[in-house]
């Protein structure tokens, strides 16, 4: 095994740097979209799960039990559905980065 590293010419390095920067930009956009979609879906899913828990068990338990159950399930559902929505809406950006050729 050799410890020497092969160094390529400047054209390939600049193409790699441009491609890497485009990939980082797509990842930053994905993270912003994930956070935004999670924050948008969280109140909706919390309201849905609180309503479901209220209809199902509000007459059998105390109010704080079904409310906390609904909020807990709503938070889990909001994170899962928001992450799915954010990733799905931004998948095309990674495809565009893969299709685009940088440099000559």
pTM above 0.85, yes or no: no
Mean pLDDT (the chain) is 87
How far apart CA 47 and CA 11 sit, in angstroms, is 55
What is the number of H-type helices and E-type strands within the chain?
A: 3, 0
How far apart CA 94 and CA 99 sit, in angstroms, is 9
Cβ(52)–Cβ(80) under 8 Å? no
Q: Where are the domains of the chain?
A: 12-99
Residue found under tokens 């919390």:
46
Residues 15-25 pLDDT 10s:
778 888 888 99
How far apart CA 68 and CA 63 sit, in angstroms, is 8
Mean pLDDT of the 74-91 span: 95
């Amino acid at each position: 095994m050799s410890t020497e590293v092969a160094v390529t010419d400047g054209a390939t390095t600049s193409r790699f740097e441009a491609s890497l920067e485009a990939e980082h930009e797509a990842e930053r956009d994905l993270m912003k979209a994930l956070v935004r979609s999670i924050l948008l879906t969280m109140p909706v899913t919390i309201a849905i799960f609180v309503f479901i828990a209220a209809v199902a068990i509000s007459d059998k338990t105390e109010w704080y039990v079904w409310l906390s159950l609904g909020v807990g399930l709503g938070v889990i559902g909001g994170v899962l559905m928001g992450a799915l929505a954010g990733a799905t809406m931004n998948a095309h950006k990674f495809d565009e980065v893969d299709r685009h050729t940088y440099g000559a």
